C-alpha cells in the first residue's frame, strides 16, 4: 500500500469529517478518498478507523473485499476491458490478450512509465456494442485490435499535447 503526503492527508481528514456521520459511512468515505486521490493511501486507514471507531483491519478488509478500491496510485489512464458474457462472445478474450501484450502488463498492473493501468470489469452496460472498454469516463464499443491501437495513439498524442 502506498502512502500520501501532508496535502493528501488534509484532503482525507476533510472527506472523513464530511462523511463520518452518514449511516454506513465507510463506503462513502472510501469512494470519496479514491475519487479525490485516485487510490486509498495506507496512511488513511488509521484516520478512517479512528473516526468510525473500528479497527484498521476492518477498514483494510472492506478495501480488499471490493475490487473497485485501489491501494496504489494508478497510471494516468485506467483502461478497463469488459469481461462480461456479451463481450466475451464477441471476442473480448482475444482483445484482452492483445491489450496485455501491447501494454506489456497484466490486470491490476501499471506500465513502467505510469501512463496506463489495466483493470478487468465485468459489465460496462454496452452489450450491443461488444466488445467494450472504458478509459476514464469514456466507453468505447466494438473495439478491435486496430481500434484499440488507434485509441492508445490518441491518448499518447493527447498526453503529449498537454505538456
User: In terms of residue numbers, what domain contains 31?
Assistant: 6-65
Find the CATH number of the domain harbouring 151. 3.40.30.10
Q: In terms of C-beta density within 10 A (0-12 exposed, 13-18 middle, 19 or more buried), how is residue 67 classed? A: exposed
Smallest CA-to-CA distance from 125 within 143, 109, 139 is with 139
Cα separation, 142 vs 160, in Å, equals 26
Domain shared by 34 and 85, yes or no = no
**What residues contact 110, with CB distance under 8 A and at least 6 apart?**
72, 74, 75, 116, 117, 118
Q: Is residue 70 part of a domain?
A: no
110-126: per-residue pLDDT in tens? 999 999 999 999 999 99
Under DSSP, is residue 101 helix (H, G, I), strand (E, B) or coil?
A: helix
Residue-wise pLDDT tens digits, 51-105: 999 999 999 999 999 988 999 999 999 999 999 999 999 999 999 999 999 999 9
Its pTM stands at 0.81
Amino acid at each position: 500500500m502506498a502512502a500520501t503526503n501532508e496535502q493528501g492527508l488534509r484532503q482525507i481528514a476533510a472527506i472523513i469529517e464530511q462523511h463520518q456521520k452518514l449511516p454506513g459511512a465507510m463506503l462513502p468515505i472510501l469512494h470519496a478518498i479514491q475519487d479525490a486521490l485516485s487510490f486509498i493511501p495506507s496512511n488513511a486507514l488509521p484516520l478512517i478507523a479512528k473516526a468510525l471507531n473500528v479497527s484498521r483491519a476492518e477498514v483494510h478488509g472492506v478495501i480488499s473485499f471490493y475490487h473497485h478500491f485501489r491501494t496504489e496510485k494508478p497510471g494516468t489512464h485506467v483502461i478497463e476491458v469488459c469481461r462480461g458474457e456479451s463481450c466475451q462472445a464477441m471476442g473480448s478474450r482475444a482483445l484482452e490478450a492483445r491489450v496485455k501484450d501491447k501494454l506489456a502488463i497484466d490486470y491490476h498492473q501499471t506500465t513502467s512509465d505510469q501512463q496506463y493501468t489495466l483493470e478487468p470489469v465485468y459489465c460496462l452496460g454496452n452489450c450491443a456494442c461488444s466488445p467494450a472498454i472504458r478509459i476514464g469516463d469514456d466507453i468505447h464499443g466494438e473495439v478491435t485490435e486496430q481500434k484499440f491501437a488507434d485509441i492508445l495513439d490518441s491518448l499518447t498524442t493527447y498526453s503529449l499535447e498537454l505538456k
